[in-house]
Structure 1
Amino acid sequence: MRRPSHTKRSLRRKIFVLLVANRGEVAVRVLRAAADLGIRTTAVYSEDDADSLHVRMADHAVRLTGHGPLPYLDVDQLVRAADGCVAVHPGWGFLSENASFARACAAAGLTFVGPRPEVLDLLGDKRRARELAGSLGVPTLDDLGTFPVMVKAVSGGGGKGMREVHRAEDLDEAIARCRAEALAAFGNDDVYLERLLTPARHVEVQLVGTTVLGDRDCSLQRGHQKLVEIAPAPLLEPSLRKALHEAASAIARAVDYTGVGTVEFLVSGDDFAFLEVNPRLQVEHTVTEQVTGVDLVRTQLLLAWGGDVDLTPADRGSAVQVRINQTGGGTLTAFQPPTGPGIRVDTHAYPGYRVGTRFDALLAKLVVQGDDLDMALGRARRALAEFHVDGVPTNIEFLRGLLAQDIIGAHTGFITDEPTSGSRAPLSGTVVAIEPGAVVLEAMKMQHVVRVSGTVLVSVGDTVAEGQALADGDAGAAADEEVAVDLDHVRPDLAEVLARHDFSRPGMEEKRHASGGRTARENIADLCEDFVEYGGLAIAAQRQRRSLEDLIERTPADGMVAGIGRVNGRRCVAMSYDYAVLAGTQGVRNHAKKDRLFALAAQEQLPVVLFAEGGGGRPGDSDHSMVSGLDCGSFHAFAQLSGLVPLVGVVAGRCFAGNAVLLGTCDVIIAVEGANIGMGGPAMIEGGGLGVFRPEDVGPLDVQVPNGVVDVAVASEEEAVAVARKYLAYFQGSTSDWECADQRRLRHAIPENRLRAYNIRALIETLADTDSVLELRSGFGRGIVTALVRVEGRPIGLIANDPAVLGGAIDADAADKAARFLQLCDAFDLPVVSLCDTPGFMVGPDAERTATVRHLTRMVVTGANIDVPFGLVVLRKAYGLGAQAMAAGSLKVPQFAISWPTGEFGPMGLEGAVRLGYRRELDAIADPGERQARFDQMVAAAYEHGKALNVASVFEIDDVVDPADTRRWISTALAPTTSRSGKKRPFIDTW
């Protein structure tokens, strides 16, 4: 099945982003294969699955609404999550065999990595698949109307929705249980019956398209859940193996199968019967990979886009896979898989991972390979002995015992389906008590009460193994008794915790409200949904000088509310100094909280919003051994986040010293009317012998707005929070809900009189989506407007000359402002649109006193070194080096360079060029009126030469366009940006 060669580079041109519509180990497996091919990826996760490893590994992750498996079964949510993707890999389970999902993907223009929908309709329905097999002469397990029978879910796999039924009276209950289980796992509760064949071996044949790649034995099962798989299947006569392969291939050819899939059979003696087809990747694909050398997930991705695949199998001996399953929930305090030759571990687990019980129990797959089956089994036993897991109960001990037996050729009933609860020990431990109807086991210093019936078979002090009989009664009759619990009762330990979490301080809150402000917690609550607070129980480090009761009462959270919440539905670190606690000063504990949250922000790449009101360092903390405190790492850690994640600073009231340093580190500063910002407060100024000042005299907004320190000035804390939320949204992706003004207005935005000024901000508001413009540093460097906008919902950075300020000429401040804004857009992959109307750089003796040479070239250097998509729209004037700076260095640099009909181009302004170039000729004309007329003639001629239409005729620009068509150029010609992991730029200049 070899096709014309496609290089990795050509594959990357076809693929932009792959959505992995699954979770856990299979999502990790697909993400790694995609990364090897250079494919960018998007992951999805339910609200209770955010800490899963696959979320971190993807280039981008989308939160699904809901908890547990249901969001992963929501076709509409998954298709929406694929916005910006070109393909979807469904993994296994969930919607991997769902034809409706495959069709929804196709309708959305997405490639479904799997068979065609009509093939899924047929093979995903186990009844229809059985009918197909029978029509091809493949033996099947038809329901003969006699018992025993197997109840099976029509959809899905993994042993879910299956029950053996040996008596007619048990059939209804078994069907009900299978329906409920299948609905929860696959979204389809249809079931069917087939004849139960026992004893028998479970043998699978691996397909890639219509080609058979190999086979494997999956007979070792517990409760119809596979535990051990062996490839190739041992003890098969060559003629029987050939018959199985031919049967599988015949089924594949009958439906013109594409992609990866498996045909499953039961084998009894020399006979076999068809079970089902799994038209997807299977959990146990790894053993086939190990013995053939074919990467099946890579093969899936290559086949989906017509890539080159080589299905020539290698002969690599035998392979064994054992499934490490959790048997309960908890947090992994240790997770150390084995290593060594021939050992592979596929997992999504890691130390610190909180393992829940809502999802599949698979924790890891241990896959070992050897020259023969004996070597593989020996390595498997050694690897299981090395596998170390703490914090979460697993089946490792059971697997060690299982592999100690002779399992070669075992049938599906080899493992008796006995429960591990009831009258058997659920874990290894010591019997510490025997009570009426119960045996108490102790393991790892924890006691476990096991309900039993019948005669107790153990004594106090006995050590028992997992699964060992504790009593001779029927385990099924020993169910736990339901204990009535008052759900409204609050135990004393919980009451103490709840009391400590009551952070209300009515007096302080009233005082804050009376001054027109809000409390730290009110601002955080307004900004975030689902906020979880870190260190809320911390108190000031002053126990040596104050009582515990006083510190709890007066220093809650040590003056800093900090944690993780959701802003616009996306996770974000939020923290606020609490001015009502020790004037919002920086103490030992809140420094530790900052360090903790900054580390999480770096690790998880979460944006940070900092409410910075406060007075800097706190001299009153006593519970420490520091001298200078200069080894504090908070400032360094926060500064390292620059360029990695968006940093937003919000300030109301007074912000001095260390608080001002953190504020100044932020990408954007939002300041409330009446705020004061200074590197030192009045006490520090006076201590330095620099005079006595009121706090209101230090860094008020009438200083900090025009000098560029403040990006956005607002009237209230409520407005500040709204702006912070709006700012973060530009870095959280596109929106589908947008509208815009009538674009024909742009045809009249530029006056016909080329010398008239106009309102550039009104023009920008018309061009951008309605209510999508957020201007930064409007009071500083006023000759250039820098703003975040949206066009058709897509976030974009915009720079524009303002002809109402210096005629649009670029001075030192405007250049600095534009350079920093370009850094911001580049760091976070925001494309940039430049609206050019400039006569050039500001020149003259006064300009040179502002270090113009360095500041203006800073804009040129920055523009030349960004790599985000850049588009140029010339509104009117495009003269000289200033125009080149607005074009990122040259008219040939942007992805498009277009002009409106009012555009005019040249190496310098028309009037100046005429005066300089024709000075002698003009001076020779004695009559002033005649001289002016001749000058006007020359200017008009120069305008005709430099007008946009003439410039486009020699292809110095891409087109002259109807202004009403500008948005189409931006949305179509401005290429999509690619998401990134880690930093692109070392940092964003604070200035």
Structure 2
Amino acid sequence: MHKARQNPLVVFSNVSQRRPVPVFASIASAIKAIKPAQTMTLFLAKLIAWSPSANYIDAVNRAYRAACEFQIEGVATNLPFHLNLLKRADFQANDVYTNFIADNAAELVGGISHNNHFFESDGDDQANAAHVAVDGPAGTSAIPAPMQGRVVSVDVAEGGEVALGQQVAIIEAMKMEHTITAAISGIVRQVNASPDDVLFEGTPLFFIEERDVTPDASLQEEEIDLDHVRPDLQEVIDRVNTGLDEHRPEAVARRRKRNQRTTRENIADLCDEDSFIEYGGMALAAQRRRRSVEDLIKMSPADGMVTGIGSVNGDIFEDIDSRAMVLAYDFTVFAGTQGGMNHKKTDRMLDIAEEWGLPIVLFAEGGGGRPGDTDIPAVAGLDTPSFIRLAQMNGRVPLVGVVSGRCFAGNAALLGCCDTIIAAEDSNIGMGGPAMIEGGGLGIYTADEVGPIDVHRKNGVVDIVVKDEAEAVEATKKYLSYFQGRTENWEAEDQRILRSLIPENRLRAYDVRTVIDNLCDIDSVLELRKDFGIGILTCLVRIEGRPMGLIANNPYHLGGAIDAPAADKAARFMQLCNAFGLPMVSLCDTPGFMVGPDIEETAQVRHVSRMFINAAHMKVPFFTIVLRKGYGLGAQGMAAGSFHKPFFNISWPTGEFGGMGLEGAVRLGFKREMEAIEGLEERDAFYQKMVDAMYEKGKAINMASYLEIDGVIDPKETRHWLVRGLKSVPETKRNADTPPGFIDAW
């Protein structure tokens, strides 16, 4: 019989006109029970009533008659409720509705007399219970049962000696065996329990006459060998070791042949020492229908994907800020293809990352779906949620993709969802590898010919290009640091150097990277997409340890004019900074947006307008510093859409401003006057005179006098202005309540 608690349930169901099973209502068994335990719920009985007639009331009457035959004593049940329900006229008429029970609860639990159709009990409710003596011999103390349960063994006999703490019995409760020990030393004078007895809590098991007893040496607690490894633990250790590099020499050798590190070596380099804990390390490829478990353990450790959590840069930042999740494909397992179990593992990890706000580092090396997985009941597997789950993390936590070697198909799709891609020079990245290309009738290519690094560094797919995996991991740690917080230790160059970096000749180009390197903390500049959209630089930087995003026009490209790739690059960088609360600084030196028939063929109108749209949605502080040229809509784009939109908009003394470039403004505005001048020298003199006049009008000092900018400063004061600006605005740090941002994949 089942053990029960107070108020067990009697459930009546399927009161139906139809015949569910070919039996009439019946009572299967009866038993007299002990007092129910308080920790369990019992489903005592289920009554199914049916009627061969077409009348619903006939089935109800049968159910009522059968219910009256139930005899349950000693505990309260819900049987009266069901009897009351079956006798209600509206129930018998099948006039019930969803809230019928709730609306009539008071009447259904009320006292209504029903006829019992059974013989009354003789009152001997404990006939089957274990009979035990409550009182023991004089001068003895009881050892009671600490819980209700079944006696498994009695380990002492009457007349025997017991020492304090010695095992005297074992009781089973809730399918767990509990050791009962003596609370005192002495002689056992009475044993009240036998194996298989079911006893209540507090029932005396033994009565002991207390006296000093010398413990049996054989019963003394053995000293624990802290180095002993039990068989069950050894099995786990062996299984874990199977997937470690030191137990996979052939796999390691294959990596060395390609001058690459193993997946676990990359993770160990990324995460702080002893901080990484692995999830799903015992997963195996879903191929048990075609291979033995032993083979799969050797062939598919972790199902080709190592996942877990750890700390990155924990020596610099607090625990809460240095947290990170790692998803790393293992190319040595089925060429890094995506198996059913590693997809399941990915989904599990992404759920954790979303719930707890963990930045994600993805090591993407391998291909797409693995056709050899036979255990997954699927046709195409296109319902796999891994891709949309990673995409849903966009703008919630930093997503970093790291590539070395081949990254095709599904691996590339996940990589493309990352905010930033860091790739080694040996990388090949493509939405389809050689096999897929050939299968589509598109030609035969080697893996090295598909998406090499020189293609992706120029087209904007890869943000940071490095030599190898070691540099990739180092770049990943540096990249994550900007989203982890402020650093306390920093150095800066003598800021007086900034006074000399803009040429006095206003037509002379200069290297804006030199300005950035001297303005920002030493070794704090990390440039993204260096070889794409080269008209604008996008960098993560620090000012007195504070992380910021920086954009700057490049005078070496189109004189600083903004073309479509540069606008796309700047707009997406704004999204990145805005999503994760990085204040932005803009170093403006542009003659405006690039124009011309060829330029318009690149959809320039749409591309450059992205800068305005993204600026309009920014919530982080924006600071603009005009180094030299601030002309037209391009300058407004570099100032978050308007010169009065930034927290401050200041200029160096070399700043010059206008609705368009000075030279073009003179040629357009004074076209007739110039055409009227016949002499070439006189015309050139008139032209230069007007340019000089417009230059004087558009000088930074004059611009500031009209309050179109906030001031003109000594370049060496630029850091001071930025620090004061940062100290004057609230810190924009993401938390659980922050709505997710959005970072375009492009």
TM-score over 0.5 (shorter chain): yes
Q: CA deviation at 1:431?
A: 4.3
- Equivalent residues in 2 for 1:363-378, closer than 5 Å: none
CA–CA separation in structure 2 for the residues paired with 1:466 and 1:925? 119
Aligned counterpart in structure 1 of residue 176 of structure 2, from 434, 446, 461:
446
Q: CA deviation at 1:511?
A: 2.1
- Equivalent residues in 2 for 1:951-970, closer than 5 Å: 951-970=703-722
> Which residue of structure 2 aligns with residue 459 of structure 1?
193
Q: CA deviation at 1:497?
A: 1.1
| TM norm structure 1 | 0.56
Q: CA deviation at 1:959?
A: 1.3
> Which residue of structure 2 aligns with residue 92 of structure 1?
none
Aligned counterpart in structure 1 of residue 264 of structure 2, from 521, 532, 545:
521
1:976 is the counterpart of 2:706: no
- Equivalent residues in 2 for 1:283-322, closer than 5 Å: none
> Is the Cα–Cα contact under 8 Å of residues 263 and 328 in structure 2 kept in the other structure?
yes
CA–CA separation in structure 2 for the residues paired with 1:777 and 1:508? 34
CA–CA separation in structure 2 for the residues paired with 1:679 and 1:826? 29
Indicate the SS of the match to 1:970: helix
Matched residue type, 2:672 = R
Q: CA deviation at 1:475?
A: 14
Indicate the SS of the match to 2:540: strand
In structure 1, runs of 5+ residues without a counterpart are 1-421
> Is the Cα–Cα contact under 8 Å of residues 367 and 408 in structure 2 kept in the other structure?
yes
> Is the Cα–Cα contact under 8 Å of residues 811 and 841 in structure 1 kept in the other structure?
yes
CA–CA separation in structure 1 for the residues paired with 2:675 and 2:220? 111
Per-residue CA deviations over 1:120-171 (Å, capped at 9, x if unaligned) read: xxxxxxxxxxxxxxxxxxxxxxxxxxxxxxxxxxxxxxxxxxxxxxxxxxxx
CA–CA separation in structure 1 for the residues paired with 2:628 and 2:637? 15
Q: 1:427 to 1:870 in 2, by over 3 A?
A: farther
Q: RMSD of the alignment, in Å?
A: 2.4
Aligned counterpart in structure 2 of residue 489 of structure 1, from 210, 213, 228:
228
CA–CA separation in structure 2 for the residues paired with 1:703 and 1:580? 26
Q: 1:447 to 1:946 in 2, by over 3 A?
A: same
- Equivalent residues in 2 for 1:238-277, closer than 5 Å: none
Q: 1:840 to 1:448 in 2, by over 3 A?
A: same
Matched residue type, 2:626 = V
1:850 is the counterpart of 2:602: yes
Indicate the SS of the match to 1:770: coil
Q: 1:428 to 1:966 in 2, by over 3 A?
A: farther
Q: CA deviation at 1:882?
A: 0.4
Indicate the SS of the match to 1:706: helix
Q: 1:895 to 1:564 in 2, by over 3 A?
A: same
- Equivalent residues in 2 for 1:551-630, closer than 5 Å: 551-569=296-314, 570-630=322-382
Q: CA deviation at 1:691?
A: 0.9
CA–CA separation in structure 1 for the residues paired with 2:690 and 2:213? 106
> Is the Cα–Cα contact under 8 Å of residues 730 and 788 in structure 1 kept in the other structure?
yes
> Which residue of structure 2 aligns with residue 507 of structure 1?
250
CA–CA separation in structure 2 for the residues paired with 1:949 and 1:474? 102
Q: CA deviation at 1:965?
A: 1.1
> Which residue of structure 2 aligns with residue 706 of structure 1?
458
> Which residue of structure 2 aligns with residue 987 of structure 1?
742
Q: 1:937 to 1:520 in 2, by over 3 A?
A: same
CA–CA separation in structure 1 for the residues paired with 2:562 and 2:211? 85
CA–CA separation in structure 2 for the residues paired with 1:601 and 1:681? 30
CA–CA separation in structure 1 for the residues paired with 2:151 and 2:334? 55
Matched residue type, 1:546 = R
> Which residue of structure 2 aligns with residue 85 of structure 1?
none
Indicate the SS of the match to 1:799: strand
Aligned counterpart in structure 2 of residue 903 of structure 1, from 625, 633, 655:
655
> Is the Cα–Cα contact under 8 Å of residues 609 and 650 in structure 1 kept in the other structure?
yes
| TM norm structure 2 | 0.73
Q: CA deviation at 1:956?
A: 1.3
Aligned counterpart in structure 2 of residue 636 of structure 1, from 370, 383, 388:
388
> Is the Cα–Cα contact under 8 Å of residues 365 and 403 in structure 2 kept in the other structure?
yes
> Is the Cα–Cα contact under 8 Å of residues 192 and 204 in structure 2 kept in the other structure?
no
CA–CA separation in structure 2 for the residues paired with 1:987 and 1:763? 30
1:432 is the counterpart of 2:162: no
Q: CA deviation at 1:665?
A: 0.5
> Is the Cα–Cα contact under 8 Å of residues 640 and 987 in structure 1 kept in the other structure?
no
> Which residue of structure 2 aligns with residue 288 of structure 1?
none
> Which residue of structure 1 aligns with residue 91 of structure 2?
none
Count the aligned residue pairs: 570
> Which residue of structure 2 aligns with residue 841 of structure 1?
593
Per-residue CA deviations over 1:671-717 (Å, capped at 9, x if unaligned) read: 10021100111111111111111111111111111100000000010
Q: CA deviation at 1:591?
A: 0.5
Indicate the SS of the match to 1:648: strand
> Which residue of structure 2 aligns with residue 728 of structure 1?
480
> Which residue of structure 1 aligns with residue 557 of structure 2?
805
> Which residue of structure 1 aligns with residue 115 of structure 2?
none
> Is the Cα–Cα contact under 8 Å of residues 193 and 206 in structure 2 kept in the other structure?
no
Q: CA deviation at 1:926?
A: 2.2
Per-residue CA deviations over 1:842-868 (Å, capped at 9, x if unaligned) read: 100010000001001111111111111
Indicate the SS of the match to 1:501: helix
Aligned counterpart in structure 2 of residue 532 of structure 1, from 243, 268, 277:
277
> Is the Cα–Cα contact under 8 Å of residues 586 and 658 in structure 1 kept in the other structure?
yes
CA–CA separation in structure 2 for the residues paired with 1:471 and 1:802? 94
1:697 is the counterpart of 2:449: yes
| Structure with bigger gyration radius | 2
CA–CA separation in structure 1 for the residues paired with 2:635 and 2:147? 75
CA–CA separation in structure 2 for the residues paired with 1:978 and 1:472? 71
Per-residue CA deviations over 1:917-974 (Å, capped at 9, x if unaligned) read: 1122222222222222222222111111111111111211111111111111111113
Q: CA deviation at 1:463?
A: 3.5
CA–CA separation in structure 1 for the residues paired with 2:578 and 2:606? 21
Indicate the SS of the match to 2:294: helix
Q: CA deviation at 1:473?
A: 8.2
Q: CA deviation at 1:516?
A: 0.9
Indicate the SS of the match to 2:701: helix
Per-residue CA deviations over 1:787-843 (Å, capped at 9, x if unaligned) read: 111111111111111111111111000000111110111111111111111100010
> Is the Cα–Cα contact under 8 Å of residues 431 and 464 in structure 1 kept in the other structure?
no
Indicate the SS of the match to 1:705: helix
Q: CA deviation at 1:433?
A: 3.1
> Is the Cα–Cα contact under 8 Å of residues 279 and 307 in structure 2 kept in the other structure?
yes
Q: 1:903 to 1:464 in 2, by over 3 A?
A: farther
Q: 1:936 to 1:472 in 2, by over 3 A?
A: farther
Q: 1:459 to 1:676 in 2, by over 3 A?
A: same
Aligned counterpart in structure 2 of residue 548 of structure 1, from 289, 293, 303:
293
Matched residue type, 2:628 = R
In structure 2, runs of 5+ residues without a counterpart are 1-141, 157-165, 315-321
CA–CA separation in structure 2 for the residues paired with 1:709 and 1:959? 39
> Is the Cα–Cα contact under 8 Å of residues 869 and 977 in structure 1 kept in the other structure?
no
> Is the Cα–Cα contact under 8 Å of residues 769 and 791 in structure 1 kept in the other structure?
yes
Matched residue type, 2:193 = S
CA–CA separation in structure 2 for the residues paired with 1:799 and 1:466? 77
Matched residue type, 2:226 = L
> Which residue of structure 1 aligns with residue 62 of structure 2?
none
> Is the Cα–Cα contact under 8 Å of residues 768 and 791 in structure 1 kept in the other structure?
yes
Aligned counterpart in structure 2 of residue 825 of structure 1, from 573, 577, 585:
577
CA–CA separation in structure 1 for the residues paired with 2:564 and 2:608? 6
* More deviation, 935-944/677-686: 935-944
Matched residue type, 1:978 = T
